[in-house]
A and B are shown apart, each in its own frame.
Chain A
Amino acid sequence: MSVSDVTTPSGKVDMNELLERLSAVEQRVETLEESQPDDMVALIVFSGELDRVLAAFVIATGAAALGQEVSMFFTFWGLSVLKQGRTLAGKGLFEKMMTVMSPNNSTDLPVSKMNYFGVGAKMLRQMMKDSGVSSLEEMMAMCKEMGVKMLACEMSKDVMGIRDEELMDGLEPAGVAAFLGESLRSRTNLFI
Chain B
Amino acid sequence: MSEVHYDETLDTKGLNCPMPVVKARKKIGELAPGQVLRIISTDRGSIKDFQGWAKIGKNLELLGQETVDEDGTELYLHFIQKTS
Contacts and interface: CB of A to CB of B under 8 A. Distances in A.
Interface of A: 58, 61-62, 64-68, 131-134, 142, 146
A58 B58 contact: no
Interface in B1-25: 14-19, 21-22, 24-25
B43 to A, nearest CB: 8
B20 to A, nearest CB: 9
A58 B17 contact: yes
Chain A binding site: helix, strand, loop or mixed by DSSP?
loop
Contacts of A146: 22, 25
A67 B56 contact: yes
Contact of B17 (A64, A66, A68, A133): A133
Query: Quick one: which of A62, A65, A132 has the most chain B CB within 10 A?
Result: A65
Given A132-B19, A132-B42, A133-B16, 4 more contacts: A132-B14, A133-B19, A134-B15, A146-B22
B19 A134 contact: yes
Contact of A62 (B18, B42, B58): B18
A66 B19 contact: no
B15 A65 contact: no
B38 to A, nearest CB: 18
B57 A66 contact: yes
A67 B57 contact: yes
A66 B53 CA distance: 6
